[in-house]
Amino acid sequence: MAAKHPAHASPARHVADAGGTALGIDIGGTGIKGAPVDLSTGTLQGERFRLETPHPAKPRTVAEVVGQVTRHFDWQGPIGITFPGVVSRGVVHTAANMDRSWIGLSATEVFGPALEPGLATPFVVNDADAAGLAEITHGAALGQNGVVLMLTFGTGIGSALFVDGHLVPNTELGHLQIRGKDGEHRASAKVRDDKNLSWQKWADRVQEYLDHVEALFSPDLVVFGGGVSKHPEKFLPLLHMRARMVPAQMANNAGIIGAALAAAGAARKAAESENGNSTRPAKTAQPAKSAQAAKTAQATKTAQPKSTRARSTAAAKRTSSSSTRSRSARAKSAHSKSAHAKS
């Protein structure tokens, strides 16, 4: 049995406690869906709006569908968007189940032009990371400390890793090598459907994958998400781990809820940073003023008329000559007194 840890307060939990709403949009292999989210409760504010994912899923066509979702809700606040790949500082680095033309692009720049003018810049997050944020804030992993791992079984295998409530982003553990191929190519829910595997045979494949994951991370809790989470009784009793295993609770809304949380968290962080900059003392500007004063003094000196500089130079020479004559007279007087004393 996994060790028990004190309940944590994750950054996403702080966002939820602050309340408010944000729009979450989840990009999937077959559909793009979204809804406004009540951050404090993790519930959708109204019905989800869903459109088909275009094929091929190229940046421009996907962005146009995302724009239609935002316009459907006439949204004006923070917008979070999931993406099925590695997203670091807004840039897409992998797109295993999307068109490869995404790789190297700034996701925010792709989606921005498709949104209505004046809307907030969307925040883009890995899809499994978003699902994990939903579960650790409002779902099956709420309050769980230590190492928490969420695995989503769908077209591939997504992963979200948390340490004491803090997300370790973009783990993409579905690409761990099992028997010479990506783990998700052996044990995803799609593989079970394509090969018409029984729950037992599929569980055998998942077990082999889990053995590798547990050896690497020794999680305290593993949350199983994706479509299979609707039927935990079919497969969870067939799996064995030292970690506690539970099904996800947020179901198909996890990506939407997590995207909204991520967007609200990014907006909050940006606001705190801006407020910090506006209240920072202006001490660092002092050296610049001193340098400017020196430049001004030099410029003033250089700007003096030539006649003025000449008179100043002549006066300095006269002062120096007068001082020399005075020292010479004192020396002669001392010599005369010395000679008189000797005689």
Count of Cβ atoms closer than 10 Å to residue 331 Cβ? 10
Contact 133, 262 (CB under 8 A): yes
Whole-angstrom CA distances from 65 to 49, 57, 119 are: 11, 10, 16
Domain with CATH 3.30.420.40 in the chain: 11-139+251-270, 143-249
Please list, residue by residue across 186-224, b when 16 or more beta carbons sit within 10 angstroms of its beta carbon and e when fewer do: bbbbbbbeeeeeebeebbebbeebbeebbeebebbbbbb
pLDDT 10s per residue in the chain (343 long)?
444 444 556 888 889 989 999 999 999 988 999 999 999 999 999 999 999 999 999 999 999 999 999 999 999 999 999 999 999 999 999 998 899 999 999 998 999 999 988 888 899 999 999 999 999 999 999 989 999 999 999 989 999 999 999 999 999 999 999 999 999 999 999 999 999 999 999 999 999 999 999 999 999 999 999 989 999 999 999 999 999 999 999 999 999 999 999 999 999 888 888 787 654 544 433 334 444 444 444 444 444 444 444 444 444 444 444 444 444 444 444 444 444 444 3
Spatial separation of the C-alpha atoms in residues 158 and 184, rounded to whole Å: 8
Looking at domain 143-249, its CATH class is alpha beta
Considering the segment(s) 11-139+251-270 as one domain, its CATH architecture is 2-Layer Sandwich (3.30)
